[in-house]
Amino acid sequence: MDEATLSLLTGPTSSLLLLLGMGLGLWRFSTQTVAPAVKRWVDQHLNQVDELLKQHEADRVAWLESMQDCHSRSEALGTKLDTIERKVGGLYKRHEALVAKLDGLPAVTINGVPE
């Protein structure tokens, strides 16, 4: 081989060809291996997020139903408590009326001893 050919094979031209070959290999590796793998990973991740959102929506619906049930039970309990308060108030008023009547009666004595 002559000196010019040897210089082309070992000099800057061969380095440039080697760089282009490595760039092509890296490009093929990126587009044929890395990009599909990343796409599959992202799709899998997004599917997991979608599943979590569906579960969250189901949990939210269950929570709302339980809160509505709790609210309706609270209203029913409030109604019952109002009824009980009215009945107790009525009984207390009757008790006060009976005490007033008893206070108006003369004291009972047995053999001259008041009780």
Terminal CA-CA length for the chain: 145
Dist. CA 60–CA 55, nearest whole Å: 8
Q: Which two tokens stand for residue 25?
A: 């290999």
Distance CA 44, CA 36 (A): 12
Q: Quick: pLDDT tens for 52-64.
A: 999 999 999 999 9
Q: Which residue has the tokens 């796409």?
A: 39
- 23-39 pLDDT, tens digit each: 999 999 999 999 999 99
Q: What is the mean pLDDT of residues 91-112?
A: 79
In this prediction, residue 1 carries a pLDDT of 63
Every domain of the chain and the residues it spans: 8-104
The predicted pLDDT at position 115 comes to 58
**Alpha helices, DSSP H, located in the chain:** 3-10, 12-29, 35-104
